[in-house]
Amino acid sequence: MSSPFRTLPLVALGLVLGGCATLDQRLEALASAHRVSVPPAWSASAQAARPVDAGELARWWRQLGDPLLEQLIDTALTAAPDLRSAQAKLRQSRATRDLAVANLYPSLGVSAGATRSRTGVEAGGSNQSQTLYTAGFDASWEPSIFGGLRDAATGAEADAAAMAATLESTRASLAAEVALEYVSLRASQQRLGIARANVASQAETLQIAEWRELAGLVTALDVAQARTNLEQTRASMPALENSRAAAENRLALLSGRPPDSLRETLQEIRPLPAAPETIAVGIPADTLRQRPDVQAAELTLKAEIARTAEREADRYPTLTLSGSLGWKALGLSALGGSDGLVRSLAASLATTLFDGGRIRSRIAVQNAVQEQALIAWEKSVLTALEDVENAMSAYATGRERTEARRRAAASAATAAELARAQYQAGLADFQNVLETERTLLAAQDNLASANADVLTAVIQLYKALGGGWQAVPVTTESDKS
């Protein structure tokens, strides 16, 4: 291919967008007029694009090797309020689809009745009463000659499929959010541990300074500086504890539980999950097929195209067929006989001659809605590509930054130990001790943050690739016909 990019037409996302011939023509016209350039490979990936294992991607959190994280995600995927709300919306959308499909079929009813009447003497009658019994069947049907009802059903089916894809998108986002909050909690715990260790070390330094002041070897300035350094480290701990508590409470909410319900489960300090060395990213086209939000946007566009066709069908006549078959008799035993048989068949054809432009305006409104759906689909494709590129870049640079900060933390620990030993022996100035201790705290804290950032990039990459659900071909009833 001469171009460095290959084009991905609207209908090439792996979804079978069927329906009536008119709808197919509209989709083909949109596909030829609106194409999104999709690169053959990811620019941020330094490794060859390996095929993505769908099963592994669907449960990507198992690659992190943390059983507690797996348990939290599994719980959230069954009890999270957002997920239950999305499930209720899917049930509503499917019921709406069933209603629209039911409009394609005839309606049949049955009726029965009894009417008692009396003819008085004043009216020339015999002052006798009689009862008329009736029973029968009624049927009516509006055949979709110009496709209006059929397009409405197609749009409703696409809406239901889009809502199903939205549910899967919610599921994928929920798994990623739980993992991100879990990483935040473990990172806060780790940084709290670093701060506590530095507080203990700085308290020893303060004690050394106090001993040397009592011996007359240093002035009170060293003691004051040591105490200031210690209290500044202590002052950083409440913010870290607040961050830990917020992540814990958020995890409880995502699991459908009240705050503090996970305190006992999460109080044990554990290391961060291990980030995988490599992640299979596949090719961009595979990601677009995998992403449920892209599928939802495309199905929403299909629904709007169908609704546009439905609005345009209002320009044409509607045909209604109705009929009835029944019996009338003066006795129950006579019902069903040929003498009392009554039947009728009717047909009506109606069309609008003048409505002041209402139909035209409704079509114009729907065309604008369809255009918005098209733009939303294009944006979802571009956003998916951007998400993957950003996550891969963050993952690659994060690993480099982590290695550099690991070396810096090791050097800072050595420098702090040497400076304290030299100060205790009277061979170094106290300012060197303060500086190395501050550097050590910053280096260790930065290393903990860098480790958390790498895991965050891993989670965001899995989410961007469409992980967190099992991709299946999305079809609607009209696609099967």
CATH number, domain at 339? 2.20.200.10
Give the chain's mean pLDDT: 84
| Region of poorest pLDDT, from 58-62, 157-161, 214-218, 409-413 | 214-218
Evaluate if residue 21 carries a pLDDT over 70: no
Q: Within this chain, do residues 93 and 180 fall inside the same structural domain, yes or no?
A: yes
pLDDT of 71 higher than 90: yes
pLDDT in the model for residue 16 = 29
pLDDT at 8 over 60: no
Compute how many other C-beta atoms are within 10 angstroms of the C-beta atom of residue 224: 13
Residue 480, pLDDT score: 43
The pLDDT value recorded for residue 219 is: 84
Residue 259 has pLDDT above 60, yes or no: yes
pLDDT of 19 over the 90 cut: no
Per-residue pLDDT band for 365 (boundaries 50, 70, 90) equals: very high
Name the pTM for this structure. 0.81
pLDDT exceeds cutoff 60 at 384: yes
CA–CA gap between residue 446 and residue 448 (Å, rounded)? 5
- For range 130-143, the mean pLDDT: 84
Residues 291 and 227 in one domain: yes
Please compute the mean of the pLDDT values over residues 163-191 and round it to a whole number: 94
297 and 177 in one domain? Answer: yes
The Cα-based distances of 25 to 16, 18, 67, 325, 375 in angstroms read 14, 10, 51, 42, 19
pLDDT reported for residue 343: 83
| CA–CA dist 279, 284 (Å, integer) | 14
Say if residue 459's pLDDT is above 90: yes
Asked if pLDDT for residue 363 goes beyond 50, the answer is yes
209 falls in which pLDDT band (50, 70, 90)?
Answer: confident
Going by pLDDT thresholds of 50, 70 and 90, the confidence category of residue 433 is: confident
> Mind listing the pLDDT tens digit for each residue in 263-285?
889 988 899 998 888 888 888 88
Average pLDDT over residues 199-219: 88
Which range is most confident: 160-174, 273-287, 331-345? Answer: 160-174
Are residue 311 and residue 327 in the same domain, yes or no? no
Residue 1 covered by a domain: no
Please report whether residue 201 resides in a domain: yes
**pLDDT, position 280:** 83
For the cut 50, the answer to whether the pLDDT of residue 40 exceeds it is yes
Number of domains, the chain: 2
d(CA 187, CA 207): 30
Q: Decide if pLDDT at 323 tops 80.
A: yes
Q: What is the pLDDT of residue 76?
A: 93
CA dihedral 165, 168, 170, 173 (to 10 degrees): -120
127/239 same-domain check: no
Whether residues 235 and 191 share a domain: the answer is: yes
Is a pLDDT exceeding 60 seen at residue 250? Answer: yes
pLDDT (0 to 100) of residue 148? 87
Whether residues 73 and 172 share a domain: the answer is: yes
| Residue 476 pLDDT | 44
Confidence of residue 24 (pLDDT cuts 50, 70, 90): low
% of the chain with per-residue pLDDT over 90: 46
Q: Which domain holds residue 120?
A: 107-141+317-350
List the beta bridge partners of residue 329. Answer: 133
For residues 237 and 170, state if they share a domain: yes
* 295: in domain: yes
Question: Which of the residue ranges 221-230, 237-246, 335-344, 362-371 would you say has the lowest mean pLDDT?
Answer: 335-344
Confidence band of 231 (pLDDT split at 50, 70, 90): very high
Contact of 90 with 163, CB cutoff 8 Å = yes
**In this predicted model, which residue has the larger pLDDT, 120 or 223?**
223
Q: What is the CATH number of the domain that holds 51?
A: 1.20.1600.10
Q: Domain check: are 125 and 179 in the same one? A: no
> Is the residue at 464 inside a domain?
yes
Confidence at residue 36, expressed as pLDDT on a 0 to 100 scale: 74
SS (H, E, C) the chain: CCCCCEEECHHHCCCCCCCCHHHHHHHHHHHHHCCEEECCCCCCCCCCCCCCCHHHHHCHHHHHCCHHHHHHHHHHHHHCHHHHHHHHHHHHHHHHHHHHHHCCCCEEEEEEEEEEEEECCCCCCCCEEEEEEEEEEEEEECCCCCCHHHHHHHHHHHHHHHHHHHHHHHHHHHHHHHHHHHHHHHHHHHHHHHHHHHHHHHHHHHHHHHHHHHCCCCCHHHHHHHHHHHHHHHHCHHHHHHHHHHHHHHHHHHCCCCCCCCHHHHCCCCCCCCCCCCCCCCCHHHHHHHCHHHHHHHHHHHHHHHHHHHHHHHHCCEEEEEEEEEEEECCHHHCCCHHHEEEEEEEEEECCCCCCCHHHHHHHHHHHHHHHHHHHHHHHHHHHHHHHHHHHHHHHHHHHHHHHHHHHHHHHHHHHHHHHHHHHCCCCCHHHHHHHHHHHHHHHHHHHHHHHHHHHHHHHHHHHCCCCCCCCCCCCHHHHC
Residue 187 vs residues 111, 269, 444, 445, 451: alpha-carbon distances, Å: 72, 10, 12, 10, 8
Q: Verify that 439 and 381 share a domain, yes or no.
A: yes
Does residue 338 share a domain with residue 462? no
Q: Is 80 exceeded by the pLDDT of residue 109?
A: yes
137/194 same-domain check: no
pLDDT tops 80 at residue 126: no
Span 126-141, average pLDDT: 79
